[in-house]
Amino acid sequence: MTQNKRFTTQALKKITLSSYFSLLIFMPLWLLVLSPSQGLSPILSLCMFTIPLLLPMKGLLKGDPYTFAWSNFVLMIYFLHSLTTLIVSAEDRVWAVIELFLTSIMFLSASYYAKYRGQELGLSIRKKKED
């Protein structure tokens, strides 16, 4: 039985990297230029919202399916930040929607890339049953 994939692994990788770098550019731009925080210093904002995104960069650029999978845990910071901002801050809703969109696109494309690329490479997280 063959599986019909809508996107190739290369397309999923490009989508993931595009949304990743967009988020990496957008977050400092939002927090330092478009709507600076009154409560946080610019350095602290930059560190809190940029450093976590830098952690998976090497593996994402290499195309490592494990990195694509675990980078989704890092994305949850931005997912929760965008949802919280949507609820709490009316003046930042546009920026929060952009963050939510980029995070959601990266989450979905990274998940499917990890799945399909892992299948192509014969990787599995399941233990093989011993008879």
- Separation of alpha carbons 58 and 54, rounded Å: 8
- Say if CB 71 and CB 110 are below 8 A apart: yes
- Separation of alpha carbons 68 and 60, rounded Å: 6
Domain ranges of the chain: 9-121
- Say if CB 111 and CB 72 are below 8 A apart: yes
Q: What is the pTM of this model?
A: 0.83
Q: How long, in residues, is the chain?
A: 131
The confidence score (pLDDT) of residue 130 equals 65
- Say if CB 106 and CB 26 are below 8 A apart: no
pLDDT in tens, the chain (131 residues): 456 667 788 989 999 999 999 999 999 998 888 877 777 788 888 888 899 999 999 999 998 889 999 999 999 999 999 999 999 988 889 999 999 999 999 999 999 998 888 877 777 666 666 65
The confidence score (pLDDT) of residue 122 equals 74
